[in-house]
Amino acid sequence: MHAMVIDKYGEPEVFYAAELEPDAMGPEDLVIRIYATSVNPVDWKVRQGKLAPRLPSRFPAILGWDAAGIVVEVGSGVTQFNVGDPVFSRPAIHRPGTYAELTVVDQSLVARKPVNLTYLEAASIPLAGLTAWETLVEIGKIGAHHRVLVHGGGGGVGSYAVQLARAYGAEVIATASAARRDDVRKLGATQVIDYQRESFADMVHNVDLVFDTVGGSVQDQSYTVLKPGGTLVSIAKPPDPEVAKAHEVSAHWFFLEPDGKKLEALGRLFEQGKMRPAIGHVFPLGEIGAAHRLSQEGHPQGKIGIVVDADHAMTY
């Protein structure tokens, strides 16, 4: 199969095209022919070697952890899917990734593609959408009575978090650049704070949940806007439990574990029109290095989509 791979850690130029064999199949696995994938910040952190102690790469390594395509082969123990099914997935991070024509995934990590989304649109959802789901639904247990502050509401994860919180009836406040204020409002935020010119700590009070996608001083200040008993969830850096205790709130950090059933539930929200894809830029697979550079340096709006199969990525 054709793939874009790396054989050492480094800058985006380390990517090169190669022909490799797919990962070995197990009885619970299915093979997905990938029509589209996407880029997440974890991708370039792995490429740089920043996560090597936790996620060591086996070179040559295929990165990427979003996939949308069709099932082309199923293992003997697969009961949930058939050849020809349109699916999307956030595959296991310890297996070869999705910057390739094929990927092998355990059936428990796969869901049927929302019928109203193209493969490119569906590929933008799994990792970012499930991260928002884990934060808001699983940890935050949000509902109509909640006020939620989402940092980075114009980014890949943030744009889905804003929509997901609104889909559950919560009031959403978000930080974003001034250029993205209107876009984030359209996603469902009732208040958008320009993080470059305004202080959210002075403008927001008594929220139930803060979703921290930034870390640093943003996380430090976020404790002050939570009501007693509130919750801070970060994907940027592990919170200090002593600081959380001093502010009488709970604080969480997690590394996403994919789940096909949760992805299926998330997909239904897209089918119902309660959420919509957030894709800001699109690159062909052969330009994955440029896509990484944009993700790493450009603070892109929404997700960066990657077309693997140009004949099918834009189809339903």
Tell whether domain 2-125+277-307 is in CATH 3.90.180.10.
yes
CA pair distance 8, 180, nearest whole angstrom? 36
Q: The whole model's pTM is what?
A: 0.97
Q: Pick the closest to residue 234 from 113, 144, 151 (CA basis).
A: 151
298 pLDDT band, cuts 50/70/90, is: confident
CA pair distance 161, 235, nearest whole angstrom? 12
Residue 36 Rama label (left phi>0; alpha psi -120 to 50; beta): beta
Give me the CATH code for the 128-253 domain, please.
3.40.50.720
The model's pLDDT over 113-163, given as tens digits with 9 standing for 90+, comes to 999 999 999 999 999 999 999 999 999 999 999 999 999 999 999 999 999
CA pair distance 306, 247, nearest whole angstrom? 42
Q: Please report, for the chain, the start and end positions of each structural domain, with discontinuous segments joined by +.
A: 2-125+277-307, 128-253
Helices (H), 188-287: 200-203, 216-222, 241-246, 260-271
pLDDT, mean of residues 222-244: 97
pLDDT at residue number 301: 84
The continuous run of DSSP H or E covering 47 comes out as helix 41-48
